[in-house]
Amino acid sequence: MAETIFSKIISGEIPCHRVYEDEQVLAFLDIFPLSEGHTLIVPKEPAETLDKLSDQASAAIGRVLPLLCRAVMQVTGATAYNVLQNNGEAAHQAVRHVHFHIIPKYDQASSHESGGLGIGWPAKKLDPERGKTLAQQLADAVGS
């Protein structure tokens, strides 16, 4: 995998505002935050997208997510937040090394600017027959 700004942060070649580190995971502030406290969590294992990450490295991120979310809420006072992980340019991935965002969302009563993640939600209703077929295909793919 090609070097990225995140692999250089992990190796120490580029500095970061570090929040948390263990053997498998590094968390630091996004220097282009969507809101105050916007934090990134990256696996030390190099993988471009989540589907290419090992189960162990992904579990290690899962394990520290609640702790990091609590820290962000405690320090910023945010009561709402999004956890987002983008894969592929079409899905807004900017750095080709897996990263999870914790993005606080502030209401207007907060002293912070509102900001945060903008969400568009063009939901449709799932056709039940299509759902049945698709779920079976996915279950087969998981089991294969």
Interatomic CA distance for residues 143 and 79, integer angstroms = 38
Interatomic CA distance for residues 105 and 38, integer angstroms = 10
38 is catalytic: no
Residue 2 or 142 with smaller CB distance to a second copy: 142
Distance in Å, CB of 111 to a second copy, minimum: 14
Catalytic residue among 92, 99, 101, 112: 99
Interatomic CA distance for residues 68 and 73, integer angstroms = 9
Residue 2 or 119 with smaller CB distance to a second copy: 119
Residue 11 or 74 with smaller CB distance to a second copy: 74
Interatomic CA distance for residues 9 and 100, integer angstroms = 15
Positions annotated as catalytic residues are 99
